[in-house]
């Protein structure tokens, strides 16, 4: 039996079990009216402020105490790639752990006017609810041969370094082998040392530092389109939602104890299989297999990596990793003990909004300063919070 067929059977049994599980969660609408939102995050020291990114307008809007502020926190209007398409625009933002009066800098990742992938630093002004639009300073820029599979997630790790995901840039099947080429930043997870708007440094413990024909920024490689990754704020483990090609979506994992350098297999392996479905590549020497995969039929078309729940509002969800599918708006969670995945659950019906609203085309999850989780509805322009069921 092929791995994907076995997996489909296991998922089917998991869903049957979930149907009888007690419902402990629901969602509440936080705010609406956004234009193609792609991401939501929080000031790491202030859960009353949420920042919502709009893909094409280049605006980062602020929700403060539940109210969307009239003026955007930051506007990158006119700086984004002008080419049409769902994979260009404003991708993500990240606040350093010490963000505040002594460090007013934060970071954004987007596709710039020439359609390159960039990270920039911006500074908050005297008003903490407004950033200075003219304060942008380029931190890292890289061209994209094709204008899709950007990746585009940035996040600070528990080590204080900034991590960034870059896709393989395509085209289909990565014919030029970008994901495996260590002399390119494409198809990689990067790790850099940023300090406000100064030039970045290479962390001395990066796995390919001072090696010939290997980019020192690389932390891990063999990724196709790692649109969203996150750190478990308790353990420091990394979970990566790597968007697949025609058949398989996968969740990859890196333990906090890792010294980097994992090869997740693309473009040779996809999920547990060799590219194209022949044989099993997950156990090949040198490849780090995903911890979980699902197939497109009936699962979906593009995985949206989420977060391990570490909030206090829903104790029964503690330690569960939430993720979704973009097109099907299916929402799952699983438990991972560092060695194996257990207790896969489908929460789609449980997290359906009450009333006329629906969740369509999930583009991201978000996490606030308290560890509570949010869902970004790209199609309807809505932000939902996962809350306890009354």
Span 333-370, pLDDT tens digits = 999 998 899 999 999 999 999 888 999 999 999 999 99
Task: Tell whether the model's pLDDT for residue 3 goes beyond 80.
Answer: no
pLDDT single digits (tens) 297-346: 877 899 999 999 999 999 999 999 999 999 999 999 999 998 899 999 99
Q: What CATH number is associated with residue 200?
A: 2.120.10.30
| pLDDT > 90: percent of the chain | 83
Confidence of residue 164 (pLDDT cuts 50, 70, 90): very high
pLDDT single digits (tens) 246-291: 889 999 999 999 999 999 999 999 998 888 766 777 666 689 999 9
Q: Which residues on adjacent β-strands are paired with residue 74?
A: 60
| pLDDT for residue 21 | 64
Number of domains in the chain: 1
| pLDDT for residue 32 | 97
Q: Is 113 left (phi over 0), alpha (psi -120 to 50) or beta?
A: alpha
Gap between the Cα atoms of 242 and 220, Å rounded:
13
Average per-residue pLDDT in the chain? 91
Peptide bond into 328 cis (omega under 30): no
Helices (H) and strands (E) in the chain, counts: 2, 28
Domain membership of residue 174 as a residue range: 3-388
Gap between the Cα atoms of 374 and 371, Å rounded:
10
**Number of Cβ atoms within 10 Å of the Cβ of 281:** 18
């Amino acid at each position: 039996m092929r791995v994907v067929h076995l997996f489909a059977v296991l998922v089917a049994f998991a869903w049957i079990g979930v149907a009888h599980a007690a419902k402990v969660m629901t969602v509440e609408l936080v705010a609406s009216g956004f234009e193609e939102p792609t991401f939501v995050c929080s000031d790491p020291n202030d859960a009353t402020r949420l920042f919502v990114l709009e893909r094409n307008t280049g605006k980062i809007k602020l929700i403060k105490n539940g109210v969307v502020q009239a003026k955007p926190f930051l506007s990158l209007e006119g700086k984004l790639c002008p080419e049409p398409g769902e994979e260009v625009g404003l991708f993500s933002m990240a606040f350093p752990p010490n963000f505040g009066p002594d460090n007013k800098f934060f970071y954004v990742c987007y596709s710039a006017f020439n359609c390159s992938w960039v990270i920039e630093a911006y500074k908050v002004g005297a008003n903490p609810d407004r950033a200075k639009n003219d304060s942008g300073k380029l931190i890292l820029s890289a061209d994209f041969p094709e204008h899709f599979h950007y990746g585009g997630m940035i996040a600070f790790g528990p080590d204080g370094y900034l991590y960034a995901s870059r896709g393989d840039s395509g085209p289909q099947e990565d014919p030029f082998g970008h994901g495996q080429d260590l002399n390119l930043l494409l198809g990689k997870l990067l790790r850099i040392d940023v300090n406000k708007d100064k030039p970045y440094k290479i962390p001395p413990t990066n796995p390919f530092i001072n090696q010939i024909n290997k980019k020192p920024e690389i932390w891990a490689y063999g990724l196709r389109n790692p649109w969203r990754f996150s750190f478990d704020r308790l353990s420091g483990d990394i979970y990566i939602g790597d968007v697949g090609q025609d058949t398989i979506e996968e969740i990859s994992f890196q333990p906090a104890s890792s010294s980097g350098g994992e090869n997740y297999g693309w473009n040779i392996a996809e999920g547990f299989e060799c590219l194209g479905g022949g044989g099993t590549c997950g156990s090949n020497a040198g490849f780090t297999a995903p911890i979980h995969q699902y197939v497109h039929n009936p699962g979906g078309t593009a995985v949206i990596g989420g977060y391990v729940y570490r909030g206090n509002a829903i104790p029964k969800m503690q330690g569960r990793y939430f993720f979704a599918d973009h097109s099907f708006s299916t929402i799952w969670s699983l438990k991972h003990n560092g060695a194996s995945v257990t207790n896969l659950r489908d929460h789609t019906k449980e997290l359906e909004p009450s009333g006329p609203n629906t969740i369509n085309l999930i583009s991201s999850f978000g996490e606030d300063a308290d560890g509570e989780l949010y869902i970004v509805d790209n199609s309807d322009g809505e932000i939902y919070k996962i809350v306890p069921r009354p």
